[in-house]
């Protein structure tokens, strides 16, 4: 019961962020305007797509 299962909805929302051209650019260029916005605390704490992407695509997990 204590396992952390990733739901289909979370996989879909994570995929939206993972394959978004803006998010891809922001992850590759964190010092750019787009990168600074995406990595800003307000965005990182409040964007459900970003949160799902970080959970589903953890270090070592490449596909949902």
Distance between CA 64 and CA 55 in Å, rounded?
Answer: 10
According to the model, what pLDDT value does residue 60 have? 52
Write down the pLDDT at residue 37.
Answer: 94
Structure tokens, 14: 């994570």
**Which tokens hold the place of 50?**
């970003």
pLDDT tens for the 64 residues of the chain, in order:
556 788 999 999 999 999 999 999 999 999 999 999 999 999 989 999 999 999 998 855 555 5
Q: What is the pLDDT of residue 62?
A: 57
For residue 58, the model assigns a pLDDT of 83
Identify the pLDDT of residue 15: 94
CA–CA gap between residue 38 and residue 30 (Å, rounded): 8
């Amino acid at each position: 019961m204590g396992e952390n299962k990733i739901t289909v909805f979370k996989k879909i929302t994570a995929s939206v962020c993972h394959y978004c051209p803006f998010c891809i650019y922001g992850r590759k260029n964190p010092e750019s305007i787009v990168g600074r916005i995406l990595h800003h605390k307000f965005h990182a704490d409040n964007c459900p797509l970003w949160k799902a992407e970080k959970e589903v695509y953890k270090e070592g997990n490449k596909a949902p």
